[in-house]
Each structure stands twice: as structure tokens, then as C-alpha cells.
Amino acid sequence: MHKGKWNGQQLISENWIAQATTPTTVQPTYGYMNFFTNPDHHFLPSAPVTAFVHIGNGTNMVYVDPEHELVMVVRWLDNKAMDGVVKRFLDSLD
């Protein structure tokens, strides 16, 4: 969130965040490691294109949504349920 800055302090390099969330030529939804970007709402149709996620085994998801200033951690989630969880959460903000 906030390009790696918290409480006025840069905790993670802004350049690293930019590189981690830049789509690769091999697969446009891949950033670094297990980061997935959302160009054209391809990965998470209900999320903004600026959102990105880190997905771990079991499907554990760290969803980062700069547009809504939101970081959401969801554990033990079925892969097919990811977009539905994001959609329900974002709908609850309205």
C-alpha cells in the first residue's frame, strides 16, 4: 500500500513495488514471484485494474487495492472464489 511507504517512512523500495506489479511479456498477469496483476480486469474481473495480489499455497491471498486504500488477507480460499470474495468486499464499501 502507498507504494511501500507507511507513516512517512519508505519500508519497501518504491522501485521494487513498481517492478513487482509490472506485467511480464510471458504472462501479462504475472509480476514478480507470485504477484499477479490485473490488466483489463483479466485476473480479478471485479477489482480495479490497479489492484494486484500475492497468492500462496493453499490459496492464501494478499489483495492490494491502492484505489480503495485496502489490503485484504484471505486464507484457505478456493481459487474459483477469489473474485467473488473481492466483489463482495468491494460492494460492502458502497
- What is the tens place of the pLDDT at every residue in 57-70? 778 899 999 999 99
Closest CA to 53 of 72, 67, 40: 72
The DSSP output letter for 30 is B
- Give 45's pLDDT tier (boundaries 50, 70, 90): very high
17 CB contacts (<8 Å, ≥6 apart)? 3, 4
Q: Of 42, 86, 80, 39, give the one whose Cα is nearest residue 62.
A: 86
Answer yes or no: is pLDDT of 33 > 80.
no
**Contact partners, residue 35, CB within 8 Å, separation at least 6:** 20, 21, 52, 53, 54
The residue range of the domain holding 50 is 2-93
Number of domains in the chain: 1
